[in-house]
């Protein structure tokens, strides 16, 4: 289930529901955490991190890193997995955030300040709303 569908089902706003996207920053796996309704802009993330290259990680590159989690439902606690965590600055404006808790059927909602204290993510600007024209009319 996609993050936007989860937001609708749980009545949590798209900007408070965070999704975790696994990226490679100069060949190191990292977590990019952003609102469910947004998309990672890899060029913005590359510029914000000062990396030579940033790309989306392939499932085969990270699935063994999270043995207790369903694929695509990893919580944004990269510090527990030896991974850098980048949070889009738009999430810092919300009092609370919610995210998958290791499965596609469980969410965890926490105060953003508590999440920041626990994870100590790097806050950057690297996402934006998707181009609706490229998604097609069926998303409207």
> Is 4 exposed, middle or buried, given 0-12, 13-18 or 19+ CB atoms closer than 10 A?
middle
The pTM score is 0.84
Taking the C-alpha atoms of 86, 110, 108 and 61 in order, what is their torsion angle to the nearest 10 degrees?
Answer: 10
Q: What is the full per-residue pLDDT of the chain (140 aa) written as tens digits?
A: 555 555 555 556 555 789 999 999 999 999 999 998 899 999 999 999 999 999 999 999 998 999 999 988 999 999 999 999 999 999 998 899 999 999 988 999 999 999 999 999 999 999 988 765 444 544 44
SS3 135: helix
Give the DSSP H or E segment for 62.
helix 59-62
Which domains, ranges and CATH numbers included, belong to the chain? 3-125 (3.90.960.10)
Instruction: Give the chain's radius of gyration (CA, Å).
Output: 14
């Amino acid at each position: 289930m996609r993050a936007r569908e989860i937001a609708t089902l749980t009545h949590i706003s798209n900007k408070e529901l965070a999704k975790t996207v696994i990226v490679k920053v100069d060949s190191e796996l990292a977590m990019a955490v952003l609102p469910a309704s947004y998309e990672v802009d890899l060029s913005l993330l590359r510029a914000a991190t000062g990396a030579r290259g940033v790309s989306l990680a392939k499932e085969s590159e990270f699935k063994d890193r999270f043995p207790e989690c369903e694929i695509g439902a990893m919580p944004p606690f990269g510090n527990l997995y030896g991974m850098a965590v980048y949070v889009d600055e738009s999430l810092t404006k919300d009092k609370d955030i919610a995210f998958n808790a290791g499965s596609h059927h469980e969410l965890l909602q926490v105060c953003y300040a508590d999440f920041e204290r626990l994870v100590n993510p790097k806050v950057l600007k690297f996402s934006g709303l998707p181009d609706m024209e490229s998604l097609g009319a069926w998303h409207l």
